[in-house]
Structure 1
Amino acid sequence: MSSTDLRGSTGPSGSTALVTGATSGIGRAVAQRLAEQGARVVLHGRDRARGEAVEKEITRQGGTARFVAADLTDAEDTLRLAAEAGEVDILVNNAGVYDLRPTARTDAAAFDRHFAVNTRAPFLLVGALAPGMVRRGRGAIVTIGSSAARSPAPIGGAYAASKAAVETLTRYWATEFGGSGVRVNAVSPGPVRTEGLSAIFGDGLDVLDRVNARGRVGEAEEIADAAAFLAGPASSYVNGAVLYADGGEVSTLPG
């Protein structure tokens, strides 16, 4: 390997990272992990109080973070987020919405909201921030996908389609930007124990333990470790990959 092969590699230490949906669940865990590894983290969310709480928590632990509120259902607000984040070396597209209804009960507004947040917002953020990474010759973009994109179920079609779309975009971006030192990858989690999933399943969350070979729901920190790997120099030759972090799926939701 020549001394220049890894010149474009980006690692969390000393980098600036924008993490969308960083006020809870997987996004919060990713932000904390990157901050632990030395990144200056720009936290995104809708709720300022929750965002500032995460910011204080990271600061208290010796990290560096600042919060920017934005509504990703609004294209202009999404672009404002990119502008306020400034020059970032790592972009983690984590923010997402999911409404697990059957098709006949999913109206146009719900469908559009899934694609606005889960697909269009990452598209706009990559379009706004990747050119700066290209100019600097380095960068890492990590998108949080979903096993729903490849494991059909009788509910949640709009959510699954929006995640399948962004995983496809990940491969296209890897081709578009990979030659300029910017790596683009995705993590595709199975069910993860988060506030959002618990709100949907309540006491029945344990039923999801039966959908993967590990026999348990994942933890947000485990997905954060996968995202941090893809954002760091240890994955310098990984580009255009969708990393399955799902415990080894064996079936769809039991019914």
Structure 2
Amino acid sequence: MTERLRDKTALVTGSTSNIGQAIAEALASEGAHVVVSGRNRERGERVVEGIRTSGGRADFLVADLDGSAEASRDLAERARHTLGGRIDILVNNAGIYPAPGTADTDEKTFDQVYGVNVKAPFFLTAAVAPIMAEAGGGAVVNLGSWIARLGVPLGALYSSTKGAMETLTRAWAAEFGPLGVRVNAVSPGVILPPSPEGAEPHPGEVMMKGTPAGRVGTPDAIAHAVVWLAGDEAAFVHGTVVDVDGGRTGVAVVAA
């Protein structure tokens, strides 16, 4: 622990498992007081317990960010109270990924995916960024995705929401940057939790063949990038989407 984020406060959405959990744990390990949020109380409290056992500070707030402005504003207010009156870091991580084909996507699914993946972080940022500005500044980190720029079959709905988040990253940097609030994004590639020894290869591993990394990434790779963007080391970084994808989108893939 280097305590790069000592005395900072952070809200991480969708942080009861996988990438969000890794981000919450990494922020806490650097000294931040973290609010873990999500729909599953049992998983959330388990994440908090792990952080506290490791010497970090964390609290859990149950939240169903369905896309309504009310749900986002409610979480912002509860997190602000829990964190002692301010939120220094916001990580918009929560998202869902149903993957029907375009012709098979009904309106309910469309609205649900856009509600969770775009509307919820939109209204949460709208509530939190002014709080940050009033306190003298802060950092917002959004989660994009490599398939926002590299199309895959059955990914139209989800990838369009991540394209929206990457566009919002630039727009919010222009809007809130002059107020002292930096806004950036991390674009994960194929990210999987570490596989148990002897497990069968995951289908996602095929997507990484021929890339510079030659393998899938793990959640901690995304967490490290978020910690950097949230901290003072990235003070001159605004409106940037950092690709953490093993070279999948930026480098020609060699058949292997």
| TM-score computed with the length of structure 2 as normaliser | 0.88
SS in 1 for 2:177: helix
What is aligned with 1:84?
78
Equivalences for residues 53-132 of structure 1 within 5 A:
53-75=46-68, 76-86=70-80, 87-132=86-131
User: Structure 1: where are the runs of 5+ without partners?
Assistant: 1-10, 196-200
* Deviates most, 95-104 or 23-32: 95-104
Structural RMSD (CA): 1.9
Identical amino acids, percent of aligned pairs: 47
* Contact persistence 1:174–1:183 (CA under 8 A): yes
SS in 1 for 2:209: helix
Shift of 1:12: 2.1
Shift of 1:105: 1.6
Shift of 1:114: 1.3
Following superposition, which runs of at least 4 residues in structure 1 exceed 3 angstroms of deviation?
Answer: none
Change (3 A) 1:177 1:54: same
Deviation track 1:224-247 (CA, whole Å, cap 9, x = no partner) reads 000110000110000000011111
Equivalences for residues 100-179 of structure 1 within 5 A:
100-179=99-178
What is aligned with 1:49?
42
| TM-score computed with the length of structure 1 as normaliser | 0.89
SS in 1 for 2:11: strand
Shift of 1:144: 0.8
What is aligned with 1:8?
none
What is aligned with 1:22?
15
Letter in 2 for 1:23: T
Distance 1:245 1:116 in 2: 25
What is aligned with 1:237?
236
Q: Does 2:35 correspond to 1:36?
A: no
Distance 1:38 1:170 in 2: 25
* Contact persistence 1:212–1:246 (CA under 8 A): no
User: Structure 2: where are the runs of 5+ without partners?
Assistant: 81-85, 195-199
Change (3 A) 1:53 1:107: same
Higher relative contact order (CA closer than 8 Å, sequence separation 6+): 1
Q: Aligned pairs, how many? A: 238
Change (3 A) 1:184 1:159: same
What is aligned with 2:218?
219
Shift of 1:194: 4.1
Shift of 1:101: 2.2
* Contact persistence 1:183–1:238 (CA under 8 A): yes
Distance 2:206 2:153 in 1: 16
Shift of 1:108: 1.1
